[in-house]
Structure 1
């Protein structure tokens, strides 16, 4: 546990999270702009969650102070939970369970002070349909894979949280 606690104070784990999220963003842009898979609103929300994870990891990567690691963990965890929730909603649109099908808006509903789909349409515009599930890999579509991705980010977040709490605990013990 000491090794993990010590490792959590370095930049390396934050770099792994940041780079993996950046790679996912590049993959999403590749699918959109090269492969021609137009993202829907739910896809854009999941993309936003990945960007949130990336920025959550970037903060302590640049300066791994204990408070900034805490802020990074909050942003990472919140983004991963929101992404998992949105991926699940997306799957309910594609594979409805019962009578309730969550609505899929036509335009992303970003806050009025931050209309990302207008500022950066190449990244945040959503011309696709939430029902489109044509891309498949190993029998799963994009929303199913994103559930796996966000679940893995949550497991990683939990490990990072425990490691950081252990680091704090070890520091307090050493100070006594």
Structure 2
């Protein structure tokens, strides 16, 4: 099983699926913001950036999936972003379900001076909602909880793919020509 996952990670199709999943989540976030009129908070924006980090990892893997260094860099970017996103989503859920006066989130997003996303693309990276407000749920699960599930899934799959790099794969893939 792990050698099969190693084999899949050496093909562009698997990395494209990772890219596609992150693109779908980003488009969904934009639909929630503009289609449904839900105001994103700072933690929502930071989680959006974590999804973009996973997307960046998939692009690195797409460059040269046959080379171990590209796969490992892509997987590491993927895992760091998934861990950061999971921590942000967990804190977001904490603010919603266990409100505490000492725990707050900033009103404005704070990006590094060399990457002012809120200045470059304010329509995507400006926050104007409250972190503690519960504004959307599906199947009785709040958005922050869904994000925990999503990031945990990305983290789990990323760890399995990283672990599968130890195992050799066959030269021929069902996805290659």
Please, what TM-score do these two structures have when normalized by structure 2? Answer: 0.89
Distance 1:48 1:101 in 2: 25
Distance 1:100 1:82 in 2: 23
Match of 2:93 in 1: 91
Match of 2:174 in 1: none
Distance 2:123 2:80 in 1: 25
Match of 1:68 in 2: 70
Matches within 5 A, 1:10-159: 10-64=11-65, 65-96=67-98, 99=100, 101-159=102-160
* Number of equivalenced pairs: 169
| SS of equivalent to 1:20 | helix
Please, what TM-score do these two structures have when normalized by structure 1? Answer: 0.90
Aligned CA RMSD, in angstroms, stands at: 1.8
| 1:8-31 deviation per Cα after TM superposition (whole angstroms, max 9, x unaligned) | 211122111111011000000000
Higher relative contact order (CA 8 A, sep 6+): 2
| Structure 2 gap ranges (5+) | 172-177
- Structure 1 runs of 4+ with >3 Å offset: none
Looking at secondary structure, tell me which structure has more helix per residue: 1
